[in-house]
């Protein structure tokens, strides 16, 4: 089965959005789309007005914390969280929308995505968080791994 051309288009845009990331470990970009319209975007980085890891370093890196663990020690927000917050700040309904993300969401983001009534998540890169996969399955959110052709 051939995938929709829109998936290619939106996944390309997630890559562009990810270039705004200020994370030293992983650059992630996210879009929330409904009816082929981009409703919100997000990238991972420190909250607005705060110093970024590019400026002060990464506490998780300094402590040798592996990817996918101890999220609470990171000063940055995930791309998915920033996209959800952008929609909220601007009063944009995202129910039944599709999330396009450069990487599989973590369990924290999976729970937020489920509560936001997102219908589908399309992602490119893996992330070491099997609990997130369980959340998506139980919540009935379609999870699609995007493969480059």
Specify binding-site residues for Zn(2+).
Answer: 78, 106, 109
Distance, in Å, from the CA atom of 38 to the CA atom of 51, rounded to the nearest integer, reads: 28
**Distance between CA 98 and CA 11 in Å, rounded?**
12
144/121 Cα distance (integer angstroms) = 6
The yes-or-no answer on residue 80 being catalytic is yes
Binding site, residues? 78, 106, 109
Read off the DSSP letter of residue 41.
Answer: E
Of 61, 69, 80, 142, which is the active-site residue? 80
Element (H, E) at 98: strand 98-103
H-state helical runs in the chain: 5-18, 53-56, 59-62, 79-89, 107-115, 130-139
Active-site residue set = 80
């Amino acid at each position: 089965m051939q995938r929709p051309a829109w998936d290619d288009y939106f996944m390309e845009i997630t890559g562009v959005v990810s270039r705004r990331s200020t994370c030293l470990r992983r650059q992630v970009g996210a879009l929330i789309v409904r009816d082929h319209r981009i409703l919100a975007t997000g990238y991972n980085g420190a909250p607005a007005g705060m110093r970024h890891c590019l400026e002060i370093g990464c506490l998780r890196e300094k402590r040798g914390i592996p990817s996918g663990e101890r999220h609470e020690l990171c000063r940055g927000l995930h791309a998915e969280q920033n996209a959800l917050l952008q929609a909220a700040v601007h009063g944009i309904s995202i129910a039944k929308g599709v999330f396009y993300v450069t990487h599989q969401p973590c369990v924290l983001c999976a729970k937020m995505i489920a509560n936001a009534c997102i219908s589908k998540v399309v992602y490119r890169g893996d992330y070491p968080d099997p609990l997130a996969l369980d959340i998506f399955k139980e919540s009935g959110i379609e999870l699609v791994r995007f493969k480059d052709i």
